Amino acid sequence: MKTTAFFLKKKRKVMMKLLKYEGYKVVIEPELLTLKPFKQIWTRDKTVNKDKALAEIAFIYFMTDPRSDYQYLVDDKERMEAIKEGEGLPPKWEPDKIVTGAMEFYKSFKPISLPTRSCTSSRQVFPSSFWTM
């Protein structure tokens, strides 16, 4: 089970679990929908089963979380296409302003361990051709 958490509560840090990846799907915690960027994604999806909102939230998880199963794809465009296909998003779908804002929000609050930080830093230093050897 993979879990992502963030810290927020005045100036004291309190852990809240937001997203979990288990059973081959992204599971969202109810607290996630109280956060403005994710609430916007949820409320704009007018379908009963919220398939589009769930797919967009899964896209955010898989695209930004270092523990994502798609992180082996170091080229962002290649990773985006693989995630869109895997999550059932239309081939022409692109992250809009709301999804991009939620991605930035998610990246800013999740904790990054030292090994993850090292991996993320290495991606910025080495060209993508280095990682595909």
Find the mean pLDDT for residues 72-84.
Answer: 93
Q: What local confidence, expressed as pLDDT, does residue 11 receive?
A: 40
124 burial via Cβ count (<10 Å: 0-12, 13-18, 19+): exposed
Per-residue confidence (pLDDT) for residue 12, from 0 to 100: 36
Which contiguous run of DSSP H or E holds residue 48? none
Q: How far apart are CA 85 and CA 63, in angstroms?
A: 13
Mean pLDDT, rounded, for 75-89? 93
For residue range 12-36, list pLDDT tens digits in order. Answer: 333 356 777 777 788 888 888 999 9
- Residue tagged 């804002």 (tokens): 101
